[in-house]
Amino acid sequence: MTYHGPKVRLSRRMGVALTPKAAKIMERRSAPPGQHGAARKSEESDYKKQLNQKQLLRYQYDIREKQMRRYYQMALKSRGNSAERLLQLLESRLDAIVLRAGFAPTIYAARQYVSHGHITVNGKPINISSYLVKVGDEVAVREKSKKLNVFQELGPSPVSYLDVAPQELKIKLLRHPQAVEVPIICEVSRVIEFYSR
């Protein structure tokens, strides 16, 4: 089930700012939400730590549990480190590519741009946010959408595995990222432990 409640409340609960607005509010109120949020300091079991990390990863990509399990199964079947492969699959999602390139301020905005048909892959319009972009694919803003205000002021692209052309509003996936390059807050090894129980 996808979370549809207040993003700030979710950010405070997880301890990670999921939106710019949440980051501002968490500077003043970093404790979990609720009347007794600041007083909650119980010992966490291994299961709870694993569950929290899994939820944290899910929320940062705004994906459902069923999708997360599918990516885990795909990562397990492929060669190499399962944790790194899981991150590579998540980072190959079209909405994640749009976010990392700085074309959207949040994953929620990136998903909306994709679903509203503003994004193309290799010249073809794609409105499926879970579409997996392959290495060498060119992602771009559709010609008709380039004049929209949301694409006039782009954020910086902090990742080296994307080649971003801000003037043409184009992105190219150069390679799959290593785990250390992915700008997320999560212990991915605990996510793998959770699903391999």
Residue owning tokens 């694993």 = 50
- pLDDT for 32 equals 64
pLDDT value of position 141: 96
Q: Where are the alpha helices (DSSP H) in the chain?
A: 7-14, 20-28, 46-61, 65-77, 82-91, 94-100, 107-115, 188-195
- The DSSP code sequence of 152-180 is TSPPP---SSEEEETTTTEEEE-SPPPGG
In this structure, the number of other CB atoms found within 10 A of the CB of residue 122 comes to 12
User: pLDDT under 50 in the chain at which residues?
Assistant: none
Q: How much is the CA Rg of the chain, to the nearest whole Å?
A: 18
80-105 pLDDT per residue, tens: 899 999 999 999 999 999 999 999 99
Amino acid at 195: Y
Domains of the chain with bracketed CATH = 7-89+185-195 (1.10.1050.10), 94-175 (3.10.290.10)
CB neighbourhood size of 172 (10 A) = 18
Crossing angle (nearest 10°) for helices 46-61 and 65-77: 100
pTM for the structure as a whole: 0.86
At residue 137, the pLDDT reads 97
Q: Round the average pLDDT of the chain to a whole number and report it.
A: 89
